[in-house]
Structure 1
Amino acid sequence: MERTFLLLVAFIFSSGQCQDTDPSSDPDASLAVCKPDIRDSGVYSAQILELQRLIQEQAQLNQEQAQQLKALQESRSAAVGFTAALGHSLGPVPIDIKVKYQEIISNMGKGYNPATGIFTAPVSGMYYFSYTMYNDVAPTPKAFMSLMKNGQRIVSTWDTKGDDSNDSATNAAVLQLKAGDQVYTILYETHQIYDDGANYNTFSGFLLFPL
């Protein structure tokens, strides 16, 4: 902007020639009369074109800076991420149920609701989710869970056979969500998971980038 202003000032002060006038021959005439010099019209045109170019460049720069600021503000307002833990054993359950992870470790954006176990996407975008299932059921483990999106099964973990009863399994997925889409986990009928406050069973998710 400073360069544009200086060019504008230079153009204004160079846009004419000042010719001295003898007051004795013309008492009413001013001492200096500025008249445009036709010979310099090409120079003036070049200055005008340069001014127009610089003004356009500055306007474009201002627009780009405004867009960058808007994108930064949107990215900050769209910061979303959570981790929640079960904190207690669950099951065997008589029906398929949503797992309510009520031990909140983090919940930026308040997308996860511990009362329902459901994460609701506050903004459209690409999200990453993971959950860990742990069981400690002797003599036979019996755990079966899935990550769900709007009622659709996405990925699952399963452990109902084995020589040991202490098993842990984790699964994850990257999902494209619209604002308002819901993601949660399900523990299936007759199955169970174990926790004793050490937070073996967790559910996490975060926004990779908005769309």
Structure 2
Amino acid sequence: MSFGTVSLVSVIVCMVLNDCIDADKQTHKDFLSSYDSFKNICHKIGWEPKCTTQPIKYCQGKTIAFHANLSKRLTNVPKNTIIKFDRTLVNEGNGYDPNTGKFTAPVDGVYSFAWTYHTKKGSIAYLCGFVDGKLTAYVGIENQSSTWENTSRNLVIKMKKGSQFWIQIFHATVQLIHEEYSSLSGYKLSGC
């Protein structure tokens, strides 16, 4: 350490000791003034915390999560149909609309989505995830050999406020989607 740095550190130590001795006598204003002096000295010697001191603007502690099922069995569902999981069990933040089958991000963030669907033997079923009209996550089954089968997929993606996510039939008409074993859920990952 240079002589200047040693001197500066000595001054800081003396100021801290002096303020600790007089702590009972300090007013709120005096304390803040001393604190600002210490911050300025630390800045001058090049020592500053590496973390941000800016408040997180959009983290308000609100939960954004939904889970929805089908209320009835779907048959002969044409290609390009958006699946409306219309029996909503949870919809914190009101991002999911069961009437359209679309989730709209209420705030910017990273979101996780998971969906599963139940089909019967011989099925060809591609239920893919779309974000703002773009096919983003593929999943499907073709010429299913078991009597009944679940197919699942998940997606973690960064979304802007107002971006939309939904599940849509891709590739071909789906003969049957069983209601009791088919669902869609999603939530915002915590960033705070």
- Please give the TM-score of this superposition, normalised by the length of structure 2: 0.69
The equivalent of 1:209 in structure 2 is 190
Partner of 1:172: 154
Evaluate the alpha carbon distance shift between residue 56 and residue 89 of structure 1 in structure 2; reply closer, same or farther with a 3 A threshold.
farther
Q: What letter matches 1:114 in structure 2?
A: P
Q: CA deviation at 1:112?
A: 0.2
Distance in 1 separating the partners of 2:153 and 2:32: 61
Q: What is the one-letter code of the residue matched to 2:26? A: L
Aligned to 2:4: none
2:26 and 2:95 map into 1 onto residues whose CA distance is: 54
TM-score normalised by the chain length of structure 1: 0.64
2:101 paired residue among 117, 120, 132: 117
Give the Å deviation of 1:194: 2.4
Residue correspondences, number: 157
C-alpha distance 56-146 of structure 1, shift in aligned 2 (>3 A): same
Greater per-residue helix proportion: 1
Percentage identity across aligned positions? 24
2:65 pairs with 1:81: yes
* Inter-partner Cα distance in structure 1 for 2:111 and 2:167: 15
What residue ranges of structure 2 are gaps of 5+ in the alignment?
A: 1-21, 39-52
Alignment RMSD: 3.2
Contact 1:126 1:174 in 2 (8 A): yes
Q: 1:97 to 1:53 in 2, by over 3 A?
A: same
Report the AA paired with residue 176 of structure 1: K
Amino acid of the structure 2 residue aligned with 1:174 = V
Letter in 1 for 2:78: P
Partner of 2:166 in structure 1?
184
- For residue 119 of structure 1, what is the amino acid of its counterpart? F
**2:110 corresponds to:** 126
Q: What's the CA shift for 1:54?
A: 4.4
Distance in 2 of aligned mates of 1:169 and 1:74:
34
Bigger RCO of structures 1 and 2 (CA < 8 A, at least 6 apart): 2
CA distance in 2, matches of 1:115, 1:105: 14
Segments of structure 1 that go 5 or more residues without pairing to the other structure are 9-47, 58-66
Q: Any conservation in 1 of the 2:104–2:163 contact (CA below 8 Å)?
A: yes
